[in-house]
């Protein structure tokens, strides 16, 4: 069971190296819980696409889906399922539709079981953060205080420099942002946790547009 200085929080999850997952998602248990929850929702949205082998004209899109699942499984510490995704991706790239058809049901079943196990673990260990005292409120910062950080974040996302991205997001988290901007920054952070740098960049572009209209 994963431990911190408060209490045992995340039980063992079959097929998941939770210690590695915490490290992969920034070293914070709260971040890892967020990624696990997002992972489950992401898999649930993709599972309908994995119920039947793709036709040849849909093979490229299928490979993209499987590649994304390979990466996200690895990011939470689910190495075995990630390896299955890697095999399926390689099979798809080879154009072997018969072998894709053969391997796909087992992969989809493993994903379903993984999601079920993660949900069970999260439900068994409610987040300690729910019991924490809310932080005090401060006056909101003006855009001149945080826009330079957003520009730095845009550059870091484009170059996919994970350490720089994490540092800038931590700095943004210390800013006293209004509720709307804070919510968008949290969306960006969520996408970064899932290694979806392209999606995070698009959300950031929308934030810049929102700030410009003010």
Tens digit of each residue's pLDDT (9 = 90 or more) over 41-91? 989 988 998 989 999 999 999 998 899 899 889 989 999 999 999 999 999
* Phi-psi sector, 76: left (phi>0), alpha (psi -120 to 50), beta: alpha
Q: Look up residue 82 and give its two tokens.
A: 């990630």
Query: Which range has the worst mean pLDDT, 55-69, 97-111, 176-190?
Result: 176-190
- Calculate the alpha carbon distances from 146 to 59, 65, 131, 140, 162 in Å: 43, 35, 30, 11, 20
pLDDT band at 93 (very low <50, low <70, confident <90, very high): very high
Query: Rounded CA gap, 178 and 55, in Å?
Result: 47
Query: Rounded CA gap, 89 and 95, in Å?
Result: 10
Q: What sign does the CA torsion over 183, 185, 186, 190 have? A: positive
What DSSP letter does each residue of the chain carry, written as one string?
-EE-SS-EEE--BTTB-HHHHHHHTTS-HHHHHHHHHHHHHHHHHHGGGGSSPPPGGGHHHHHHHHHHHHHHHHHHT-HHHHHHHHHHHHHHHTT-HHHHHHHHHHHHHHHHHHHHHHHHHHHHS--GGGGSPPPPP-PPPPHHHHHHHHHHHHHHHHHT-HHHHHHHHHHHHTS---HHHHHHHHHHHHHHHTT-HHHHHHHHHHHHHHHHH-
Predicted confidence at residue 55, as pLDDT, reads: 92
Break the chain into its structural domains and give their ranges: 10-128, 143-213
Average pLDDT over residues 18-47: 87
Contact yes or no for 174/141 (Cβ under 8 A)? no
Predicted confidence at residue 4, as pLDDT, reads: 40
| pLDDT tens digits along 189-202 | 888 877 788 888 89
Predicted confidence at residue 10, as pLDDT, reads: 76
Residue 92 reports pLDDT greater than 70: yes
Predicted confidence at residue 136, as pLDDT, reads: 41
β-strand partners of 10: 2
Contact yes or no for 154/147 (Cβ under 8 A)? no
Is the model's pTM score more than 0.75? no
Predicted confidence at residue 30, as pLDDT, reads: 85
Which of the pair, 167 or 105, is modelled with greater confidence? 105
Q: Look up residue 77 and give its two tokens.
A: 């510490």
Residue 109 reports pLDDT greater than 90: yes
Average pLDDT over residues 177-191: 81
Predicted confidence at residue 140, as pLDDT, reads: 43
CATH T-level assignment (fold) for domain 10-128: 1.20.120
| pLDDT tens digits along 132-180 | 434 444 344 455 567 788 888 888 888 887 778 877 887 777 777 777 8
């Amino acid at each position: 069971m994963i431990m911190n200085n408060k209490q045992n929080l995340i039980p063992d999850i079959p097929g998941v190296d939770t210690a590695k997952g915490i490290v992969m998602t920034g070293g914070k248990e709260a971040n890892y819980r967020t990624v696990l929850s997002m992972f489950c929702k992401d898999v649930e949205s993709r599972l309908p696409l994995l119920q039947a082998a793709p036709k040849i004209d849909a093979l490229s899109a299928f490979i993209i889906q499987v590649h994304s699942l390979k990466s996200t499984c690895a990011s939470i510490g689910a190495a075995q399922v990630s390896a299955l995704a890697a095999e399926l991706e390689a099979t798809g790239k080879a154009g072997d539709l018969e072998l894709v058809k053969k391997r796909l049901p087992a992969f989809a079943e493993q994903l379903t079981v993984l999601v079920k196990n993660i949900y069970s673990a999260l439900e068994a260990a409610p987040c300690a953060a729910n019991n924490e005292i809310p932080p005090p409120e401060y006056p909101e910062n003006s855009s001149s205080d945080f826009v330079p950080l957003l520009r730095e974040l845009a550059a870091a996302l484009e170059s996919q420099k994970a350490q720089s991205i994490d540092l800038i997001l931590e700095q943004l988290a210390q800013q006293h942002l209004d509720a709307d901007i804070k919510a968008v920054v949290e969306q960006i952070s969520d996408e970064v946790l899932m290694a979806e740098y392209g999606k995070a960049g698009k959300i950031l572009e929308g934030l810049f547009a929102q700030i410009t209209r003010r």
